[in-house]
Amino acid sequence: MIYCSSGFNRIVIRPNGEIYTCYSLNKCIGNISTFKENNLHVTQCDQKNCIVCDQNFITTNQNKSRIQKRKLDIHITVTERCFHFCPYCTHSDYSQKVNSPIYPLPIQDYVNFLLNIKRKSTVIIMGGEPTIRKDLYQLFVPTRHTLMLFSSALYFENSIKIFKEVQKNNVKLIYIPALHHTSKDFDWNIFWDTVKEAQKIPTIQIPRVKVVNYKLNNILNDIRKQCQNLKLKIEIASLDSSVVSDRIKQNKINMPHFEKL
């Protein structure tokens, strides 16, 4: 058994408001409305091959103050909803999540939580598709934290509201456009227009465009060309092909039950 120092450095907020130190561990350490920073502690763990946590595994005595000097990572799943069923994404693995609430918690609950966190943090905003929430822009209040948004920007108007709020409040935002789908009805013009709007705001950084390689060379070539024109880096992630066929079958079952937004 080994110990993971991410217990001092990571908070995972699930859609129901429960807080954990890791995606792999099921020990709840609090709730978004009652959590205290001093609840964080080193976690016993046996996930030796965890790709997220390898760098945090330790076998010797720790220096708590040294570990806590690192930024706290706060992962928030603001919604589990998305209208794409991508082979790469675990969103479509469970039919009970297909029609999960768009707004599982009021946005003000997240705001109050972040305002109470004193330690400088990186707040990672995820989904589903985060920008599906029309109220998400309200999360970008003046803060000491750095916010990081993973999004395919499928909702242009909601994304623009976020960018305007970021600019108004001088918030530091790391925006990572993440393309995980092969949908034929995906509007590439809207996607690139959203990226261009984000580039206009000085406090928004776009370190890379992340795309999953489905071996669709024509799409990848277009993305490379656009990234080159916009002077953006591209990260091409590999796809675990062993799960794709099963998920495609499951998606065909799920999609007829999905309520269009």
In 3D space, the residue among 80, 164, 66, 72 whose CA is nearest the CA of residue 113 turns out to be 72
Dist CA 79 CA 41 (whole Å): 27
Q: What is the pLDDT of residues 132-143, one digit of tens each?
A: 999 999 999 999
Residue 207 and residue 250 share a domain: yes
Residue 193 and residue 129 share a domain: yes
Residue 123 and residue 32 share a domain: no
More confident position, 13 or 5: 13
More confident position, 91 or 155: 155
DSSP strand pairing (121-126 vs 72-77): parallel
Residue 60 confidence class, pLDDT cut points 50, 70, 90: low
Residue 87 and residue 43 share a domain: no
The per-residue pLDDT for 26 is 80
Residue 102 and residue 19 share a domain: no
**Boundary of a domain, candidates 70, 95, 124:** 70
Dist CA 151 CA 240 (whole Å): 21
Residue 251 confidence class, pLDDT cut points 50, 70, 90: low
* Strand residue runs (E) in the chain: 2-4, 10-13, 18-20, 30-31, 43-45, 57-58, 72-77, 121-126, 146-151, 173-179, 204-205, 209-212, 234-237
Residue 95 confidence class, pLDDT cut points 50, 70, 90: very low
The per-residue pLDDT for 215 is 61
Answer for the pair 39, 101: CB distance below 8 angstroms, yes or no. Answer: no
Q: What is the pLDDT of residues 202-212, one digit of tens each?
A: 999 999 998 87
Least confident of 102-111, 140-149, 240-249: 240-249
Residue 224 and residue 146 share a domain: yes
Residue 81 and residue 4 share a domain: no
Residue given tokens 């806590």 in the structure block: 68
* Single pTM value for the model: 0.83
C-alpha separations of 106 from 53, 56, 97, 112, 256 in Å: 30, 32, 19, 10, 28
**Boundary of a domain, candidates 29, 51, 70:** 70
Least confident of 47-51, 143-147, 176-180: 47-51
In 3D space, the residue among 175, 171, 48, 154 whose CA is nearest the CA of residue 114 turns out to be 171
Expressed as residue numbers, the domain containing 157 is 72-257
* Number of domains composing the chain: 2
Answer for the pair 182, 87: CB distance below 8 angstroms, yes or no. Answer: yes
Residue 8 and residue 104 share a domain: no
Residue 146 and residue 20 share a domain: no
Answer for the pair 133, 107: CB distance below 8 angstroms, yes or no. Answer: yes
The per-residue pLDDT for 147 is 97
In 3D space, the residue among 152, 194, 189, 178 whose CA is nearest the CA of residue 235 turns out to be 178
**Boundary of a domain, candidates 54, 70, 86:** 70
